[in-house]
Amino acid sequence: MQNHRLRSFCQSIFLATLLGVTSALSSATTTLAQDSQWPQWRGPNRDGVLAFDNFVEDFPEEGLEMLWRMPLGPGYTGPTVAENRVFVMDRIKTPKQQERVVCFDAKNGAKLWEHTYDCQYVGVGYEAGPRASVAIDGSRAYSLGSMGNLICFDVGGGVLWQKDLDKEYKIRESQRMPIWGIAASPIVYKNLVIVQASGADGACMVAFDKKSGDEVWRALNDRAQYSSPILVKQAGEDVLAIWTGDSVAGLNPNDGTVHWRFPFTPRSMPIGIATPIVHNNMLYVTSFYDGSLMLRLNQDTITVEKVWAKIGQNERRTNALHSIISTPVWIGDHIYGVDSYGEFRCLEAATGERVWEDQTAVPKARWSTIHFVQFPDAQSKRVWMFNERGELILGELSPSGFSEIDRQLLIKPTTPQLPQRGGVCWTHPAFTKDTIIVRNDEEIICYKISR
């Protein structure tokens, strides 16, 4: 029965290809410059896929070369890179509570500028610091803090406009502040910057004019959560795919019209962090408590249908994949990701059935995390894996198993993000054509990974 379902699934994908249906994710575009290095959350196309492939085949005997390191405060924000600048955020607690946006020179690590603003965390758990990655669009950069401070900068450091989303959209007043704060990274589309704002009065999602900061549209009355939106292609149209605290939805990014909405109400609380992944017109999400959901992105109309969903008894007794922070990777007919207690798994994408489980890439622990980055060749099994112990792993993934090529400790775990197990490194790294940039709660470090 499983083999029959897999053959049917593969045949439908092959037919879609013959009909000229383009992969939703690879077709989706934003106004972010494609020759930028790592200008937004999960890279140039927001899909965790590298735009270049001139990296080492294995690590030098003496280890990867460190190019620079600079001090940094605590925070979950993964660095982004464009215009030869590195952007990241952290938190300052004394003499008063502030969030900070910092810009470094990508070549030598010199601090080019910083911007601090008062920001007291109220009702936000895990207080290490900001969550969302800075989005760079040409000469502008957009930061979003944990309490909803949205700021547009000139990349040279000047503030062009700013919004206090908490006040303007009554987030705390309406008791809509997520327990872990505002976390989804902004996305730039044409003349808009779009955020999961968690606002009241139908403002779960809000789009602003990227030059003026004026509101252009708002959509959905869902509770917000932490998953960053992506762009997909359906029936020849750009669709903003978002995973909120109550549903997976597809919006017209131009005006916020809801094309489709698939209810996905959590059985405990909104906790979705992983970004939706898309492959061959299928969209997949995974949650710590609520398991896995696979939707088909129809291409004759802008609609979706459920392919399968799997949920275990609880976060310990899981089915398919119950991921927390880590966004899985989809290669060929299989999905690879980290389950609730660090179980590294391979799933059959057609059915969600588990193919194998591995415990060598990351220690077995609650919320264990690996960030996966794929090579540009869609057929490549090779991936970069940055785990929560601060280790960079070069490996290959296939239905036969996980094959480790090399591994190196790049940065030590620190405790502000999580005091358990000696600390963690939960922030996503950034890649350029020559380097990887990683951070913890004390510093940011750049290594050479090109040949």
34 and 51 Cβ atoms separated by less than 8 Å: yes
Task: Number of helices (H) and strands (E) in the chain: give both, helices first.
Answer: 3, 32
211 and 255 Cβ atoms separated by less than 8 Å: no
Q: What is the pLDDT of residue 239?
A: 98
Residue 14 pLDDT more than 50? no
Give the model's confidence band at 17: pLDDT under 50 very low, under 70 low, under 90 confident, else very high.
very low
Where do the domains of the chain lie?
Answer: 25-445
CA distances from 448 to 55, 189, 296, 427, 435 (A): 9, 31, 39, 19, 4
**CA atoms of 135 and 168, how far apart (whole Å):** 22
228 and 41 Cβ atoms separated by less than 8 Å: yes
Q: What is the pLDDT of residue 378?
A: 78
Return the higher-pLDDT residue of 354 and 17.
354
What distance, in Å, lies between the first and last C-alpha atoms of the chain? 46
Q: What is the pLDDT of residue 70?
A: 98
Q: What is the pLDDT of residue 379?
A: 81
- Retrieve residue 13's tokens: 């994908």
Q: What is the pLDDT of residue 9?
A: 43
Q: What is the pLDDT of residue 8?
A: 46
**What tens digit of pLDDT does each residue of 241-289 get?**
999 999 999 999 999 999 999 999 999 899 999 999 999 999 999 999 9
Q: Residue written as tokens 């994408």?
A: 349
- The values of phi and psi at residue 384, to 5°, are -90, 140
**What tens digit of pLDDT does each residue of 43-94 get?**
999 999 999 889 999 999 999 999 999 999 999 999 999 999 999 999 999 9
Return the higher-pLDDT residue of 402 and 31.
402
| Percent of the chain surpassing pLDDT 70 | 92
**CA atoms of 436 and 451, how far apart (whole Å):** 13
CA distances from 82 to 24, 155, 449 (A): 25, 9, 18
Q: Residue written as tokens 């997520």?
A: 178
CATH superfamily of 25-445: YVTN repeat-like/Quinoprotein amine dehydrogenase (2.130.10.10)
